[in-house]
Amino acid sequence: MKDLNFTLVIANEERRKNDEIALSEDLAEFEKYLSAIDSKADNIYEEVKYIRKHLDDKTFHGANKIDSKSLLLPARGKPDNRRGKFPNFVEKRTLNGQEVACKLTSTTDEEMESNTRVQGHLEILMKLSTCNHILRFYGVSKIDETNAMVFEWAQRGTLKELYELKDIQWHYKVQIALKICRGLIFLQSAEILHHDLRCENILMTESLEPKIYNFKLARHTFDKTTTLKGEINDAVRWLAPEKLSNYKSKYTTQCEIFSFGVLLWELAFEKIPYRSLEVDKIRDFVIKGGRERIKFGNSTSEISKLQEAYKQIIDDSMYYSYQQSYNILVNY
């Protein structure tokens, strides 16, 4: 029995060391990715740029048309096969053996067929799907005679839902952060900003792969900016101070970097930021330089070192200079 216990102790210690080595390598890759020389997705950038330029004077392919008969109901009915509330629910189907999510849309047949802006935006979504860290868009179809957009299915729901259910280990947190960063760099290379970065807008697959989604507020970098129309809502928890100071100000790459830093904090501590403050108090707090504290609990010396490096990345994002933010997201 003593021999068995000794063997288990040795095995656990070996696994702990291997996990720490893997985590160290992931964080090193993360930092390298944030500071390496420019390697933009040039082909996608040029294609998206062309579509944007000719939204009003060209006809585009739009999205793939998927026969509704190809969207099969799951063999087993499960409670989570339909998520959300009508009319914004998402329904799980199977397409060529692949689980997909069907989201109803108010876009009409006529708009999909003849509106060049709708066609262009759908085609951009198709092109962005070439990035593994952005939710894949398969095309459009119909569900019960209503138009639907078909995306890949994310079994574990949002990153927020995941951390509320389970304690995510640091090894996975760094991997998730790195892949979200890659996805944002891909978007930025195509001159697209998300505008609403938070863990609630990151979907998680069964294998813990993060997928950036919910482009409801997304805009091309040089298009008219998204504003909150003066309203105080939950989004202020992730907004940069310059945007909080003037909701009508342009949403920039610097704003996106700040939100990314707050998302990293949220992922690290597995809770929404400024939870102790009422929403209407957050604006003044952040504008005056207030930020969430970054204080980790007791851990091994190796994990503590990694947490300090992770903390530095958050600090660089939330206390940025314009040059620092450019280096973080553009030069990687």
Q: Which domains does the chain have, with CATH numbers?
A: 23-41+156-329 (1.10.510.10), 54-152 (3.30.200.20)
- Give the pLDDT of the chain (332 residues) as one tens digit per residue: 444 443 334 444 555 555 555 556 655 655 554 443 234 456 766 777 777 666 666 666 678 899 999 999 988 778 778 887 776 788 999 999 999 999 988 888 888 888 877 888 888 888 888 899 999 999 999 988 889 999 999 999 999 999 999 999 998 999 999 999 999 988 888 888 899 999 999 999 999 999 999 876 565 555 556 655 544 588 999 999 999 999 889 998 889 999 999 999 999 999 999 999 998 899 999 999 999 999 998 888 888 888 888 898 899 888 864 445 445 444 43
Predicted confidence at residue 118, as pLDDT, reads 82
- Residue type present at position 164: E
Q: Residue 313 has which token pair?
A: 């990345």
What is d(CA 260, CA 174) in angstroms, rounded to the nearest whole number?
14
Predicted confidence at residue 89, as pLDDT, reads 80
Report the b/e string of 108-133 with b at 16+ CB within 10 A.
eeebbeebbebbbbbbbbbbbbebeb
Angle at 283 between CA 314 and CA 260, to 5 degrees: 25
Predicted confidence at residue 2, as pLDDT, reads 43
Predicted confidence at residue 59, as pLDDT, reads 63
Q: Residue 157 has which token pair?
A: 């729901």
What is d(CA 278, CA 265) in angstroms, rounded to the nearest whole number?
19
